[in-house]
Amino acid sequence: MTTRSTVLITGASTGIGATYAERFAHRGHDLVLVARDEARLQALAARLRAQTGAAVDILAADLTQPGDLAAVEARLREDTRIDTLINNAGATLAGPFIDQATDDVARLVALNTTALVRLASAIAPRLAQAGTGAIVNIGSVVGLAPEFGMSVYGATKAFVLFLSQGLSLELAPKGVYVQAVLPAGTRTEIWERAGIDASAMPDLMEVGALVDAALVGFDRREPVTLPALHDAAHWDALDAARRGLIADLRQAHVAQRYRAAA
Ligand code: NAP
């Protein structure tokens, strides 16, 4: 008898997370669904059990609350059936930085970065020990674009990209796959939750198309997946430029342009 692997998905009550839940259930995985809205999680779990026969547990948790977060971490540490973490829960904030309340900024950072890295930290040692499994972190193209005027949100997503790239380098040799998924604007509730009118944005990607593309990248074991980027050569050029810059750092010597005029 083979044991079905279990996928833990944060932010699974709606949007990208709920779509991942549906796709993994249809792929034959069991699920642990995490979000705050227990009624929505129950409804999704009941539907997926009926449609696919998957075993679906729910874990109602506010990932900005240390006690709730610790319970999810414990599940990831202890439940050896879980071999995949989809680190998806996230939010955004409307408006310019000077209009954003400091507590809202801190809560956004806690959800989009602290919770995400704590959950990765909870599962990674066990997966590395087992030599298998996957961690998928949902970033955003906003993390590449300070020009978009979403400075704190973009900064959290730049963190997600960097963390994913670093963890991929550390964990791939141990048999653990790490993927950063960078969606562009996608039709979900994230906009209205932040008080942004999404109907004014005609070019959003549909959430099913986004997750299906992300899963193509997942199946290919791509470290960074950009579903809305049409010419992959742009990503390769950015990465090559970054590597070129690193190669030009000579830390023992100040660059000529910073030397005081004689
Ligand atoms: P969404 O429809 O608003 O869903 C967000 C999910 O996160 C919900 O399930 C929500 O559930 C959960 N969540 C929010 N706050 C939480 C908290 N404090 N604790 C636990 N769960 C919480 O947004 P989405 O578009 O699917 O976003 C999913 C991820 O994709 C996010 O990381 C987002 O930054 C990223 N992303 C989205 C877009 C886009 O255009 N939609 C683009 C780039 C990246 P509850 O309310 O039940 O807790």
pLDDT tens for the 262 residues of the chain, in order: 457 899 999 999 999 999 999 999 999 999 999 999 999 999 999 999 999 999 999 999 999 999 999 999 999 999 999 999 999 999 999 999 999 999 999 999 999 999 999 999 999 999 999 999 999 999 999 999 999 999 999 999 999 999 999 999 999 999 999 999 999 999 999 999 999 888 887 799 999 999 999 999 999 999 999 999 999 999 999 999 999 999 999 999 999 999 987 5
Nearest CA to ligand 1 atom 48: 36
Q: What is the CATH number of domain 6-236?
A: 3.40.50.720
Distance 16 CA to ligand 1 centre (A): 7
- Using DSSP bridges, classify how beta strands 56-60 and 82-87 pair: parallel, antiparallel or unpaired: unpaired
177 is catalytic: no
pLDDT of the residue at 29: 98
Q: Is 71 in the pocket of ligand 1 (CB under 6 A)?
A: no
The closest residue, in CA terms, to atom 12 on ligand 1 is: 11
Q: What separation in Å is there between the alpha carbon of 2 and the centre of ligand 1?
A: 33
Tell which one of 181, 190, 191, 206 to mutate to probe ligand 1, the residue whose CB is within 8 A of the most ligand atoms. Answer: 190
Q: Residue 2: its pLDDT value, please? A: 56
- pLDDT number for residue 1: 45
- 183 CA: nearest ligand 1 atom: 43
Q: In ligand 1, which atom is closest to the CA atom of 12?
A: 9
Ligand 1 contact via 236 beta carbon (within 6 Å): no
Backbone angles phi, psi at 143, to 5 degrees: -70, -10
- Ligand 1 centre distance from Cα of residue 202 (Å): 20
User: For residue 198, what pLDDT is reported?
Assistant: 85
Distance 246 CA to ligand 1 centre (A): 34
What is the atom index within ligand 1 of the atom nearest the CA of 37? 47
Atom of ligand 1 nearest to the CA of 16: 26
Q: What is the edge-to-edge ordering of all strands in the sheet holding 56-60?
A: 56-60, 30-35, 6-10, 82-87, 134-138, 177-181, 224-225
Q: Look up the pTM and report it.
A: 0.97
pLDDT at 201: 79
